[in-house]
Amino acid sequence: MNQQLSADTRPTSPTSPAPAATGDSPSAVLAVPPAPPAEAAALLRAALARHTDVSDVAADLATGAPAFTLVDSRSTAAWDQGHVPGAVHLPTASIPALADRLLDRARPVVTYCWGPGCDGATRAALALAEQGFRVKEMLGGFEYWVREGFAYDTADGPRTPAPDPLTAPLRAADDCGC
């Protein structure tokens, strides 16, 4: 525990109420109170309108007929190192010149890059949205695709990694329950 965020040491009696979980709370989590439910729902719905995750993408790709186009926005060297099977290779810098040739405007586009430490998927999604495409980002990127144990293609052929137990602890169940 962070020493600066130590527990409230004010004396209480069995009948005195606990400190309120808002505004002046000693809680680091509740120092800023939660948004009202309707506001929270609107913000969370908006986040889900912009994001998806690797497990949901994998599940849709497994149907053989996903209702979106998956775009890998990384360089050719990165693509050759590994990419999601069925993805379209469209580096971010090439979007203005190639998006209309490679993508169908009637289909939503899901972008990905290396991983959570890279904003390439965000930049690619922005470039596509500015050209009129409906877009989402795949959270976790290629890194989490591999870490969750999903098969991927390389310049040397397909690979299927072992799942990382910290990111895919329930792989055998095929569903984390979220």
137 located within any domain: yes
- The yes-or-no verdict on residue 162 having pLDDT over 70 is yes
The first and second tokens of residue 4, run together, are 């600066």
What pLDDT does 26 receive? 86
32 located within any domain: no
Is the distance from CB of 154 to CB of 84 less than 8 angstroms? no
Q: What is the mean pLDDT of residues 157-166?
A: 94
What pLDDT does 59 receive? 94
Question: 168: helix, coil or strand?
Answer: coil
The first and second tokens of residue 82, run together, are 């590994």
81 located within any domain: yes
What pLDDT does 23 receive? 55
Distances (CA, A) of 7 to 1, 33, 100: 10, 18, 57
What pLDDT does 3 receive? 44
Comparing 38-52, 64-78, 115-129, 162-176, the range with the smallest average pLDDT is: 162-176
78 located within any domain: yes
Q: What is the mean pLDDT of residues 127-141?
A: 98
109 located within any domain: yes
Residue 108: domain span: 53-166
Distance between CA atoms of residues 170 and 178, nearest Å: 12
Q: What is the mean pLDDT of residues 152-178?
A: 81
What pLDDT does 166 receive? 87
pLDDT, the chain, mean:
88
Q: What is the mean pLDDT of residues 14-33?
A: 67
Counting the structural domains of the chain, the total is: 1
pTM for the full model?
0.81
Q: What is the mean pLDDT of residues 162-168?
A: 87
37 located within any domain: no
26 located within any domain: no
CATH of residue 133's domain is 3.40.250.10
82 located within any domain: yes
